[in-house]
């Protein structure tokens, strides 16, 4: 597999869960759990990217490599692009965006995502799994992706796509889509081109950043992993569920 690095974008401010990266799970800040998942992967380096000294201090205390970035970024992707420039990574360098609220992301999925860029025709890689229920398929918080015959993304949406024309066809429609997971791998050159572009009309409509890549004509490889990632953390309830899963409590 091609060499890759992991960057974990992490910000302190969160509307639904303030101070999220430093909230404790099993006696450790959440950002440490995410960092450990990165270190368990085949990545040659793992970097925490933040604009907050509290996160930087906590990360350095447990031995993580930290890159301080601007506080003006609109997304983790922009933060990672700054890291790539600060580190002077080449355009061919592969970087995995491991989001800072994914403490239950298996290391095998990080490797799987990076390995999809062994395909030279792919600009970006991500992962998705079959839907577990029709309720999830119809939930706008569960992002859907539809792939072509080569496993490349055709479209991402919060809507239930594809639309079931025949009545009672939700189950069939859910089987034709995949539940998208928020992990990405990019070549740094692609990352730089992506953040230099303005958000596209469909991105602004759906509020899904990956639609900018499709609008730019980029190819997104979508792999289906052998296991599903654990839940991410956005709310207090999420934090409790993930803590129970990780600690067995």
- Per the CB < 8 A criterion, the answer to whether 1 and 114 are in contact is yes
Asked which of 40-44, 129-133, 235-239 is least confident by mean pLDDT, the reply is: 235-239
Which structural domain range is residue 100 located in? 4-241
Q: Quote the percentage of the chain above a pLDDT of 90.
A: 69
Mean of pLDDT values over 150-171: 85
Q: Please report, for the domain that includes residue 163, its CATH number.
A: 3.90.550.10
Asked which of 105-119, 162-176, 180-194 is least confident by mean pLDDT, the reply is: 162-176
pLDDT at 1: 63
pLDDT 10s digits, 21-77: 998 888 899 999 999 999 999 999 999 999 999 999 999 999 999 999 988 888 999
In a domain, 87, yes or no: yes
In a domain, 247, yes or no: no
In a domain, 249, yes or no: no
In a domain, 123, yes or no: yes
What are the φ and ψ backbone dihedral angles of 197, each rounded to 5 degrees? Answer: -90, 150
CA angle (95, 98, 99) in 5-degree steps:
135
Give pTM, 2 decimals.
Answer: 0.92
Q: Taking the C-alpha atoms of 182, 134, 202 and 16 in order, what is their torsion angle to the nearest 10 degrees?
A: -50
pLDDT at 23: 87
In a domain, 248, yes or no: no
In a domain, 246, yes or no: no
How many structural domains is the chain composed of? Answer: 1
pLDDT at 145: 97
| The pLDDT of residue 236 is above 60 | yes
Q: Measured between alpha carbons, how far is 120 from 211 in angstroms, rounded to an integer?
A: 21
In a domain, 179, yes or no: yes
Distance of CA 95 to CAs 2, 10, 209, 214, Å? Answer: 11, 16, 17, 19
């Amino acid at each position: 597999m091609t060499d890759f690095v992991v960057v974990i974008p992490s910000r302190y401010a969160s509307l639904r869960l303030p101070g999220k990266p430093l909230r404790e799970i099993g006696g450790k800040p959440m950002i440490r759990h995410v960092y450990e998942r990165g270190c368990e992967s085949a990545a040659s380096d793992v970097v925490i990217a933040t604009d907050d000294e509290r996160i930087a201090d906590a990360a350095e205390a447990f031995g993580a490599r930290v890159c301080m970035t601007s506080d003006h970024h609109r997304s983790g992707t922009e933060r990672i692009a700054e890291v790539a420039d600060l580190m002077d990574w080449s355009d061919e360098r592969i970087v995995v965006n491991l989001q800072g609220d994914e403490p239950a992301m298996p290391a095998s999925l990080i490797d799987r995502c990076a390995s999809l860029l062994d395909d030279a025709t792919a600009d970006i890689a991500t992962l998705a799994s079959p839907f577990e229920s029709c309720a999830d398929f119809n939930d706008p918080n569960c992002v859907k992706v539809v792939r072509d015959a080569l496993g490349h993304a055709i479209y991402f949406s919060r809507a239930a796509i594809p639309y079931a024309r025949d009545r009672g066809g939700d189950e069939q429609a859910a089987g034709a889509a995949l539940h998208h997971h928020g992990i990405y791998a990019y070549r740094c050159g692609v990352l730089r081109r992506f953040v230099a572009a303005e958000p596209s009309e469909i991105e602004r409509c759906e509020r899904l950043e990956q639609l900018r890549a499709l609008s730019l004509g980029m190819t997104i490889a979508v792999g289906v992993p052998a296991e599903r990632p654990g839940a991410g953390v956005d709310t207090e309830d999420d934090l409790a569920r993930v803590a129970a899963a990780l600690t067995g409590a």
